[in-house]
Structure 1
Amino acid sequence: MEKRGLLKSTRDPKDRRKYHVSLTDDGKRPVDESIQE
Structure 2
Amino acid sequence: MNFTLKIWRQEGPQDEGRMETYPVTGISDEMSFL
What TM-score do the two structures reach when normalised by structure 1? 0.35
Q: Between the two structures, name the one with larger relative contact order (CA 8 Å, sep ≥ 6).
A: 2
Could you say which structure has the higher strand fraction? 2
Could you say which structure has the higher helix fraction? 1
Larger Rg: 2
